[in-house]
Structure 1
Amino acid sequence: MKKPLWSPRLYVDDVDRLQTYQVKLMQHQEETARQLVQKINQVIANTSATALMLQDIAQLLGSAFQVDCCCLVSVTGDTSDEMTTINWCADEYLGLPHPEEMFSMEQLLMHSPVLQCAAEPLTIEDISIVQNSLVIGCQYLPLPIKAVLAIPTRFGENNNGVINLIKFQPYDWSESEKQLLKEVESACAIAFSQVAQAKLITHQQQYLQKGDQYQSLIKQLTLLNRSNLELNQMLQLVIASTAESLQADRGLLILLKYTDPLFRTQGKKQVPKAKARVVGEWAKAAQISRTTKSDTLVDQSFLVSECSLCQRPFIDSGKAVIFDNYTEQNDTSAAAPLFAIEQLPGVLLVPLESQGKILGFLVLQQATTRTWQTAELELVEMVCAQVSNAIIQSQTLRQVQTLVDERTAKLQSSLELQRKMQEKTRQYVDQLQKLNELKDEFLSNMSDRLRYPLTNMLMSIRNLRLPGIAPERQVRYMDILEQECTKEINLINDLLTLQKLESPHEAPQLESIDLNTRIQFIAASFEKKLAEKGLKISVDLPEKSLKLQTELESFDRILQELLTNACKYSQHDTTVHLEAVHQLDQQIDRVIIKVTNTGHAISEEEATYIFDKFRRGKGRWTPGTGLGLALVKSLVQHLNGAIAVESLPISDSEQSEICFTLTLPQFSDESKP
């Protein structure tokens, strides 16, 4: 009897074998994944160069999945410049030419058999990063792409890369391959994070290096500004330092010479009549031979009206001109030939400006397209500002130097005169300081001289108002009022007289007087006052009476003030001597009057200022305003005379003889005005 073809026992055995196979298959896949992850971790740990690390990982993945190509893309930003791409292809596909027809990215994304993702479902961010990785990483593959299995990697909750497994023939990806790719995703994410970290460190190092270069450039410019270099030499060093620090292919410094002196008064957005001349040039060694035929561009010139590139700052009100590629937007023939736009299309032209006037341009050029960073533009603008200041300073110095050269001889001859004038100025300053002190002293004295009489007058008035006051006391108080009023009036009159004498005034009103008679009269009027102080007066006059042409009022006031001064400062129980003589010397006819008293000596220093207003001798506490001798001097000068003082020590005594000598001209009747 034949056994049945199928039995429950056989079914159970098949199921057991299938389950055993699936378990072994899962164990094999787990072992494969574990080994692959272990190898990737070893590559990460043992490889310091990130490019070599990604290359080894791509080879491991390509071999493990048996694909035609493995593309690893490390993502650190949103632009292609911030992505690192590594492709590994099987040996049989290396060296094949790039095909003319390939699947576009739209075709890869539209046809699901072509592109599959192991990390489904995909987010919008996942789709975007996969698309960018395919566009950037697969554009140079040797054959058309027929199948792609991709997975985005995540590190720290952010996408940081994409793993692309590529077949150049149609292929259906198995679930085991998708699961294996998921298993290695985390290890690859670590590798991509190291790539990002290395790139960040590189960027920071480059940033620091640029910062050091910029600091070095600023220091160089500062030293150049402080140096004594000629302007053209300094400009050459400036453009060389700037272009080299900013890694430009060529740098030019151009200055303008205006032929229209009224250009600055014209409207804006007008191109001036000006000639541009190159004063500084720097170029990389590789650029010199293919950009210019001559050895240097320095001193070459062109008209601004013939160069559209140099007209831009005038049209745009002094703004910088920036072209990533001048040939794509402009007619290159419109620029001056020396710019060699065809070879150096990247242009940065910044005007050198001072007080609204463009002095020239700083030009940096590139052989390839270049996007200038904000920090670089700010640095160039700073350089231009310093260069503009240096140009203005140089022009000013040249003008000043011309004037200095013209006047050097005159200045040398007048140095001694200047020194003397400075000394006199110092003396004047000292005098002004002393006068300021005198002013303070005068105000103090004047306040006292004004206050005390007013106080006495006020007290007399109050006492006069008291009821029942005796007639004799009324007379006494009235006398006090009259005396104090007289003092105030005399003080004010003295001040007015001084002011009048110091201002332009008329000539003295001369009249003929008997000198002997007038002196005796004045001396007699002082006898009582001198006697009250314990003093005597002696008068020594010529036997023959002298006639003097003078102004009577001024003459009397001079003698009265001299006698008043002698009365104040004479030693008790001494005699005041008054002497007058006539003198004729070398056709000069004059009268000399001397007033001599005994008192404290007058020092040489005091003698220099004793006739000045508000000045009083040191250590003399007699009340007064310091106006008496100043008034004497002014009156003497009014009469065309002179006055001097002399202090002669007396032997065996602490006192001295103080002699005031008054000299007045003696006019004849014929010379009388």
Structure 2
Amino acid sequence: MQARVSRVHTKPQELAGRAINSADPREECLPVTSKCKFSLSNRSGESAFVDQSPTQPTQQISEALLWHKMTQVVVANAQPEVILSKLAAILGEEFRADGCVISICTRHSTQHHVASWFGDDLTANQQAGILATYSTLEAATLDAGSLIISELQTRDLIPEWRSCSIGSVLSNVTRFQGQVNGAISLMRSHSHSWTKLEATTLATISDQVAVTVSQILLQQQVLKQAQYQSLIQELTMAIQNSVDLPQILKLAIDGTAQALQIAQGSVLRLRYWDPRHNSRSLDGIPKARVTVECQWQPEIAQPQSSSLTSETLLSQSFWVSECVVCQSAVSYAEPTALSDRDDFPATTEAAGIAPLFAPERMPSLLMVPLESKNKLLGFITLQHDQPRVWQPNEIEFAELVGAQISSAIIQTETLRQVESLVEERTAQLQQSLELQAKLYEITRRQIEKLREMNQRMDEFLSTLSHELRTPLTSMMLAIRMLREADLPPDRREQYLNILEQQCAQETSLINDLLALQELESKQVAIQLQKVDLKQVITDLSQSFDQRWALKGLTLEIELPPRSPALNTDLASLNRILLELLTNAGKYSDPNSTVSVKVSQQSGQQIAIAICNGGDGISEEELPYIFEKFRRCQGVTQNAVPGTGLGLALVKNLVQHLNGTIAASSLPTDATQSLETRFTVTLPQNLEIA
């Protein structure tokens, strides 16, 4: 003989509790109703039970002995499930049955335990068939209170038993404190007329079994509460440790679904069109979109046609106004518990039921709101594939989980806002620091420029003072000498020439300053006229031949075959060439050549290049030679006369004629001196330019 405990998932079924017709049409066995404990036969008014007498050897069941054996089992074992299995074996052997099944169940349970014992006459396949169809017998027992079937030759009452090796059944419910908590079923493989003593003894023994069943139910309840408490603690620790929100949602929905043993669970979030309308105090249905944030399904393979995949669920999104279930849940602050598909709200023309809920596939639904300070954040949805009455402790547990999820969402959103604010403030601070750095750099450059300008001004004043005082000193000396009465005529002529020369130099300096100021203030008018460039250069070359004779300089002029005509300001052009040739002669090596090259450029432009060989201009000073009062260091050290206004005046005159000027100073292969080149580019027709 063998006994075992197994878990069976059953669903309540409504079964008729009528009698089963026996082979003899004159005799039937009626199930005992709540007012009757055994079945009666209609034959000649005799009882359906077989009376025991000395001439009819029937099993004598000692109720006291049976109580003693059951008590020993209860005392000797600590595990209620082990006790239940051994009680099934004791009852099966004492009642000489071929099988005994003790189940723990209630009318609203979705999962319960079954302890079974079978004799050696039943094969393993027969035992498996009996357990597979036991839910039908259990439902009939719970419905009638007790069930007595002596013969199962006609099996129309319970079609599932047609393939089972059951000939007769004696079954009774177990009650603890007035509540049904299980059932005991004795089965024989052949027809058997159960005696009144057997039925009475089973009814009495059921009280003892009910106590053991209640212990198992209490143990399950304690374990379930511990499981609830463990999940709440895990969520609390995850929130305190600032775990990522997706991980918290997955932990919450997975733990809740496994604790409540549901078929599907989801966390829904509401995305409001206008964030200001997220309060329950506003009338009407808010304009918000429902999205599946996290979802749980058991890892049991199901046909694709009958279930939605996780990816399909997570991709679902719909408006609250499109689903009557969401509209109902949004309207009430309490959890929404739907036990069967008939409890779902009726659809309208404007709104149906979202595919997520699918009442034909998931007939029971529990929706718990996620809230914080009257702000509706979303819902926890728990669904089951069988009709289910949601118990108060289950709803309370789901509300606790919802409160933890709401806290996690608010904490995450708050942290996100704080991080966003910190990033924004950091960016603003960074921009402010960058702006301050730019302002500091601008200020530094301005200060540096002011220092340079002050230095140049000091240099200019020093140079100007020298250039003014030197001629004045010569003039004063000449005047004193002319005051002498006995001065010879030739000396008098010499001193008068000195006066005239120094006076001209002073006049030239003043004129340069005035001209430069006029050019910078755009006060000089342009006098356009046709100019023969060849003639202008030739006239200038004649005057420089005489000046450069003592230094041994020669002037080379290179003109195109066809002399270009210019329409420009002749005075400005003459002054540009005069200053550049004067500079070239001043800084050229003795006995060298100064060249003037004229070339035709694209875009109706003329290029005039003036080159000389000498010490040249250093690379560091080259970018600044066109600035006012700027003189090269070597020039100052060698006491070359000048004010530093010549090239500044040339640059302003070139710009006055809408042209450009460039300078370079490069070494040559022939000599150790540098070739300094100034290139002036002017438009041929200034009027058009």
TM range (shorter): 0.3 to 0.5
Q: Greater helix percent: which structure?
A: 1
Larger relative contact order, structure 1 or 2 (CA cutoff 8 Å, min sep 6): 2
Q: Give the TM-score of the pair, scaled to structure 2.
A: 0.40
